[in-house]
Structure 1
Amino acid sequence: MLEIIIVAGARPNFVKIAPLIHKLLREENINYTLVHTGQHYDPLMNDVFFEDLSIPQPNYHLGIAGGSQNKQTSEIIIGFEEFLKDSAAKAVVVVGDVNSTMACSIVTKKLHKDLIHIEAGLRSLDRKMPEEINRILTDSITDYFFTTSRDAGYNLQKEGITEDRIFFVGNIMIDSLIQKIQFAQKPDIFRTYSLEDGDYYLLTLHRTDNVDDADVLTDILRAVSASIGNRKCVFPVHPRTEKMLRGTAIYKEIQNIEFIEPLRYLEFLYLQKNAKAVITDSGGIQEETTYMKVPCITYRTTTERPETISVGSNELATDLPTLKNLISKVEQGEWKTSEVPALWDGQAAERIVQKIKEIYSV
């Protein structure tokens, strides 16, 4: 029996581990333990995701919540070490690029366990992004790399990783999307704000560069508001972003942006699928909108998911004038034709499990 540990801590992690857990529940020779670090501790950011994604509750919860990134990372390291030091598991599986990913990776290798990184090799080449540091550090000590694209594999090879440890399996986040899109739920806000399918924008912001300075954040909101005219924009506000907005007058100033609490996964899928366009700084949303072929404007200077631009529906807005210009293209019906990248087919989890069975001869 192969014993493995799966680590999740933040909202995007849950979406990525769900298809893997569904597959492992049917495997007789692999037993998993799910550890939730608690990095996202707001109920709307994690608890309801287990219900929406139809996965069991975590076996172990570290209970780490809040604090600065470094404080959070250090507490996750201490908590995960206490759990892992007595574990008989052969390998630890981490996903994505959040603080939990990097922190638990360090503990894993310090305790001489195998480290498997799902969504390895993504690079924005912007080391000011905390996520980029997490990616680089995690991949520098990973044993087996599962990638979403061939570009990610090339990035790893350039960093000296041998090809025999890199496995192009596709995008496991899209597995969840394909499994759950038919169950997407129309949120009550459609009635509250008189929204119509295809006639509103969806906005998400949580990156440090965009939300940690109130002036920068409100300038983005003003630019969006001015560009969409009479249309509505729905803005599910990340808890950290909400704290920054409290001291501003932006709620009263802007009338066509509706500020709402974070939504359940199935409700958020509905919002994405039926939006006229999505404006975001998220990594995962670039992928989901690409699969759904919904125009996506990413307000960042770089992206670690270049296939969403070269193949998909995504474009980068590197500054406010570009953001306004791209919204204008949406309004004028001039958005590009989108395709779905290779192996974004709902079978990534199946390929991952098969490869793990090959690696460990189970």
Structure 2
Amino acid sequence: MTGQALPTHPGLIGGPVYLDYNATTPVDIRVADVMLPYLRELFGNPSSSHPYASAPRRALADARAQVAALIGAREPEVVFTGSGSEANLLALRGAVLAADLPRAHLITQVTEHPAVLETARALERLHGVRVTVLPVDSDGLLDPAVLAAAMDEDTAVVSVMAANNETGALQPIGELAELAHSRGALFHCDAAQAAGKIALDVAELGVDLLTVVGHKMYAPKATAALCVREGVALEPVVYGGGQERGLRAGTENVALAVALGTAAELAGQELADGAPGRNAQLRDDLHRRLEAALPGRVRLNGPVQQRLPNTLNISIDGVLGHELLAAVPEIAASTGSACHSGTHAPSPVLTAMGLEPVRALGALRLSLGRWSTHADIETAADALGKAAVAR
């Protein structure tokens, strides 16, 4: 059903070397193909009782099973949403409001995605929720002892991402979830960057809520899901007709659900076939080549070992990341800074890790994926090295 991956993606042909897979991924052609019947012929509402609903209803169930299989969940625990940000909103707002505590307490950590941090701030502003944002160490990791000290009897939910989108740092989710449960709190994990890149099992991790995002694993944008452990009560994010266990009303987008399910199945196959090891080899080869081209100038940001296999975040002494990428049009990647009105500011993630501004501004995030090749690595290392030497 899924077939073989193309040697390259049509969207990458003739373009620069793509090293920004953590930002978004090309939609796998196999994923696009399975969507088409639900856009062209199989249009029925899966909640209807007539024959036009049968195929969409089966497809929705199959997609739910595929996503569940990727993360070790039960099929009814998968709730489809329109984005990872929406899934995070459902998890955090849903858990806090369902807890029905007079001064509910939400704990997260400083290098979370804005979808979590801004939701926490909104809950604080609109619902009087107490929010604690915990620090991280120089590798971007949360010390479980810091979490243990922050929890109290009103802590309703703890939210910590599986993998950081900039550095790839992998948090000790199992230990953190166990601590949260010891104080009666739910544990939410934003696995947007981790799902499909490393093996995840919600039962082994002990998480109550887990976010999966399709466009990080070769499905279209606006495809996502929240795994909600059986027995966990949440306030709905959209009220209405009772779809998605009553947590996210609205007629289901079967085509997008099928896309997410297919992407999850393909990701599971790649995990079984050793894709993480392949990506780690390419990543490390890129790192070694840059160090050889720029001796003493390349500094790794984040953990050496405890990180995603596809992610390399480095700073190069003497250059600014955005200027270096501008000088290398043959590479598409991200920097360690954000541009606002023409002014570049250091990444909040790198700043929270204690990196000085000049190093943070010099950072590059180079993230690999399904169609990365040895030739890409050679091209990227050569171009970046030559441009950095010339600056």
Query: Do the structures match in fold with TM over 0.5?
Result: no
Greater C-alpha radius of gyration: 2
Which of the pair has the greater relative contact order for Cα pairs under 8 Å at 6+ separation? 2
TM-score, with structure 1 as normaliser: 0.37
